[in-house]
Amino acid sequence: MTSTPSKRSRASKNGHVKQGDSGSLRRWNLRLYVAGQTPRSITAFQNLKNICEEYLKGQYHIEVVDLMENPTLARGDQILAVPTLVRKLPQPIRKIIGDLSDTERVLVGLDIQPR
């Protein structure tokens, strides 16, 4: 837990964390909206990373948006609940709310696994 904040803060400052091989065929563009560094935000980020590493290794791109710092960004993706994960690519846009602790549903939500 103590090591994560430094990682997270880097993520939020840069606006995104680049992971994996950029030359992949399938590109997963994911954006995670959080509100401050709450335990729930951290859990969500870790859950997301774990899932991505396991299922989308080398094909994903995660952007973390902290609404505490940029409240205006909530408007664009119509964010109400936090944490919200938005799949920007591939289209269509999908939204997954919650701390992403239910891996099964995250996979369904991201269309990685068929419903």
* Interface positions with other proteins (CB under 8 A): 33, 35-36, 40, 44, 47, 67-68, 71-72, 74-75, 78-84, 93-102, 105-106, 108-109
Q: 31: helix, coil or strand?
A: strand
Closest Cα partner for 47 from 70, 34, 59, 74? 34
**Closer CB to other proteins, 23 or 92, in the complex:** 92
> CA-to-CA distance for 30 and 11, rounded, in angstroms?
13
Q: Which is nearer to other proteins, 23 or 72 (CB)?
A: 72
Fill in the amino acid letter for 94: R
Give the span between the Cα atoms of 88 and 92, in whole angstroms: 7
Find the shortest distance in angstroms from Cβ 33 to other proteins: 7
| DSSP, res 63 | E
Beta carbon nearer to other proteins, 24 or 29: 29
Least separation in angstroms between CB 104 and other proteins: 8
C-beta separation of 67 from 34 below 8 A: yes
Nearest to other proteins of 15, 36 (CB atom): 36
Least distance (Å) between residue 2 CB and other proteins: 22
